[in-house]
A and B are shown apart, each in its own frame.
Chain A
Amino acid sequence: MNHLDTLPPWAAILVAVLVLLGALFAFVGSIGLLRLKNFYQRVHAPTLGSTLGAFFMLAASITCFSVLHGRPIFNEILIGVFLTLTTPITLMLLVRAALYRDREEGSQDVPRELPHE
């Protein structure tokens, strides 16, 4: 019928489990983004999707295409390396900006700036 039917059963089950795990991690991360109380708690939740969620999905993609084409295909590794490098950078910049904005407003919920900073 289609290309997925040419996968051997062990590969089909492995890809199914990896795809489901990746989607579940991304889903749980988004629930956290919706439900947690303040910004500094919420910033932790989506990282679940951008690390474990993305990596399970990339592993599923690598398995699927390597078995389908009969040779190892590692294009997905690029995405993995890129996400590992960029996620901490973006979130640190974002939290720095949020902390700066909260301090400018004189909010009592964030720690005061240290004198030597």
Chain B
Amino acid sequence: MSHQLLDAAIILAQLLLLLAMSFSIIRMVRGPRAQDRVLALDALYVNAMILLLTIGIRTGSVLYVEASLIIALLGFAATVALSKFLMRGQVIE
């Protein structure tokens, strides 16, 4: 009984996260200015990281945790680089 509940909860959570990712993609496509698109990219990678964690719980492999750590790291670097680009017009001065 509780295991069917867990399966249903994980699938529902994955659907919600997919919807959340598609909302941020819509904002990235619409987003009137460049900073909106960067913000949407930031939200997209955080949601992707959370989705990867749910996949890890579903498959029972600890490796997905390391993969989501790498997504968080690269996403941080990407957002910082893009914000610097928006501010100065170049990434490395």
Contacts and interface: CB of A to CB of B under 8 A. Distances in A.
**A interface, size bucket:** 35 or more
B72 A86 contact: yes
Interface residues of B, number: 55
B12 A49 contact: no
B3 A5 contact: yes
Interface of chain B, helix or strand or loop or mixed? helix
Contact of B35 (A17, A20, A39, A58): A39
A5 to B, nearest CB: 5
A19 B83 CA distance: 31
B5 A13 contact: yes
Contact of A90 (B9, B34, B80): B80
Interface of B: 1-3, 5-10, 12-14, 16-17, 19-21, 23-24, 26-27, 33-36, 38-40, 42-43, 46-47, 49-50, 53-54, 56-58, 60, 62, 65-66, 68-69, 72-73, 76, 79-80, 82-84, 86-87
B28 to A, nearest CB: 10
Given A33-B39, A39-B33, A57-B50, A23 B86 contact: no
A89 interface: yes
Contacts of A5: 3
